[in-house]
């Protein structure tokens, strides 16, 4: 009987042991899934970032196996989120606008700048090229004598300056500069969304109307129409510091001098903790330079072909500039990504 009992006990242990092992294996699979970090990208709603985010979603998901999500945020929310690790990557980070956040975040080790995302990206004030030629408008001061060309339909006693999108720091920078140049005596300022700014400038070009506003490159808008960048005093670091001080402290306004924007290369900002979670992705991002001219051409292609799907634009870029992005990724990742790109539905 003892032997029989032992046999029974051993027989009973088999399913129990099997259950324990199976449970451990299942738990291991479950934890493995949990450990696949979703890499979150900052989206502050403009086309260069839409393109780069769509491209990096393809590269990271197809080549490196991490799920990717782009989160639409305002600039201030993006800053806090990157510092705290609620988002992981801010590609095309125009860090020089945000020094009061950027410098401490870098110094405290909260974020890193992996390098440049493209060649120096200019910001400027523009009028159509034909207006410059026909009316001999060259400098920012010439705009005082020609304000009637840019008449504000809501207030015909002044011209109209179309400012930087709402919520971006350049919105306040431009207001300080307008005061310093003495242009607020001649111009009202409107502050649209990014889409409304583009529509206002493009609409004026299509109708052949004068228009005066802020814009930047690389963008489809700059590639599709002929623009004249108004001459300003050259960028001066001391003058620029005064502009930023006046942005932060209204009591300093108006300041007595302003200058052009400095053309600076945007950065690739990451939350520092991403190095421990996805070192392979960090290595890839550190090699990325999507190219100012290449982005201009891709954005113009998307606009001309009425492409509103930025994944399609990213595919066009990746087919057109295969030899460029190939250098960012490992050989194994390239094979996987290329297979996805080649199999993608044809784009116009």
**pLDDT tens track for 55-94:** 999 999 999 999 999 999 999 999 999 999 999 999 999 9
Q: Give the number of other CB atoms < 10 A from CB of residue 122.
A: 17
Confidence at residue 25, expressed as pLDDT on a 0 to 100 scale: 39
332: left (phi over 0), alpha (psi -120 to 50) or beta: alpha
- Tokens representing residue 29 in the block: 């699979």
Confidence at residue 24, expressed as pLDDT on a 0 to 100 scale: 37
**pLDDT tens track for 192-251:** 988 899 999 999 999 999 999 999 988 888 878 999 999 999 999 999 999 999 999 999
Confidence at residue 7, expressed as pLDDT on a 0 to 100 scale: 33
> Is 219 strand, coil or helix?
coil
Please list, in sequence order, all residues whose beta carbon lies within 8 angstroms of the beta carbon of residue 277, skipping any fewer than 6 positions away: 37, 88
CB distance 131 to 228 below 8 Å? yes
Strands 89-93 and 267-271, bridge-based pairing: antiparallel
Confidence at residue 29, expressed as pLDDT on a 0 to 100 scale: 38
Q: At what angle are helices 310-320 and 331-343 packed, to 10 degrees?
A: 120
Confidence at residue 10, expressed as pLDDT on a 0 to 100 scale: 39
- pTM of this prediction exceeds 0.75: no
> Is 218 strand, coil or helix?
coil
What are the b/e assignments for 325-335, b being 16+ CB within 10 Å? beebbeeebbe
Confidence at residue 67, expressed as pLDDT on a 0 to 100 scale: 98
Confidence at residue 16, expressed as pLDDT on a 0 to 100 scale: 38
Confidence at residue 217, expressed as pLDDT on a 0 to 100 scale: 85
> Is 158 strand, coil or helix?
strand
- Quote the CA–CA distance of 50 and 57 in Å, as a whole number: 11
Confidence at residue 35, expressed as pLDDT on a 0 to 100 scale: 66
Distances (CA, A) of 130 to 30, 138, 159, 208, 240: 63, 12, 18, 9, 30
* Domains assigned to the chain: 38-119+265-343 (3.40.190.10), 123-252 (3.40.190.100)
Give the chain's residues under pLDDT 70. Answer: 1-35, 348
Query: Residue 233 — φ and ψ, nearest 5°?
Result: -55, 140
Confidence at residue 168, expressed as pLDDT on a 0 to 100 scale: 85
> Is 147 strand, coil or helix?
helix
């Amino acid at each position: 009987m003892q032997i029989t009992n032992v046999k029974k006990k051993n027989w009973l242990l088999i399913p129990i042991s099997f259950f324990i092992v199976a449970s451990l294996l299942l738990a291991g699979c479950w934890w493995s899934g949990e450990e696949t970090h979703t890499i979150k990208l900052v989206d502050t709603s403009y086309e260069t970032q839409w393109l780069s985010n769509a491209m990096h979603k393809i590269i990271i998901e197809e080549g490196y196996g991490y799920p990717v999500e782009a989160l639409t945020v305002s600039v201030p929310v993006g800053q806090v989120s990157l510092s705290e690790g609620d988002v992981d990557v801010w590609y095309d980070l125009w860090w020089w606008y945000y020094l009061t956040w950027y410098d401490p975040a870098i110094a405290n080790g909260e974020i890193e700048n992996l390098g440049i995302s493209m060649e120096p990206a200019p910001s400027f004030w523009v009028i159509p090229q034909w207006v410059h030629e026909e009316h001999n408008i060259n400098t920012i001061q010439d705009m005082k004598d020609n304000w009637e060309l840019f008449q504000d339909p809501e207030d015909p006693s002044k011209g109209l300056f179309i400012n930087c999108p709402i919520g971006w720091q350049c919105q306040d920078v431009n207001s300080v500069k307008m005061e310093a140049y003495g242009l607020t005596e001649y111009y009202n300022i409107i502050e649209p969304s990014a889409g409304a700014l583009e529509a206002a400038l493009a609409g004026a070009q299509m109708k052949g109307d004068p228009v005066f506003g802020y814009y930047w490159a690389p963008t489809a808008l700059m590639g599709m129409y002929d623009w004249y960048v108004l001459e300003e005093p050259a960028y001066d670091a001391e003058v620029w510091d005064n502009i930023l001080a006046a942005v932060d402290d209204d009591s300093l306004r108006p300041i007595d001098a302003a200058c052009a924007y400095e053309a600076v290369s945007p950065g690739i900002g990451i939350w520092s903790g991403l190095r421990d979670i996805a070192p392979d992705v960090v290595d890839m991002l550190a090699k990325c330079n999507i190219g100012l001219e290449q982005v201009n051409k891709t954005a113009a292609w998307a606009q001309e072909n009425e492409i509103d799907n930025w994944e399609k634009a990213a595919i066009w870029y990746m087919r057109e500039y295969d030899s460029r992005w190939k250098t960012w990724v490992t050989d194994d990742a390239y094979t996987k990504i290329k297979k996805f790109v080649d199999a993608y539905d044809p784009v116009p």
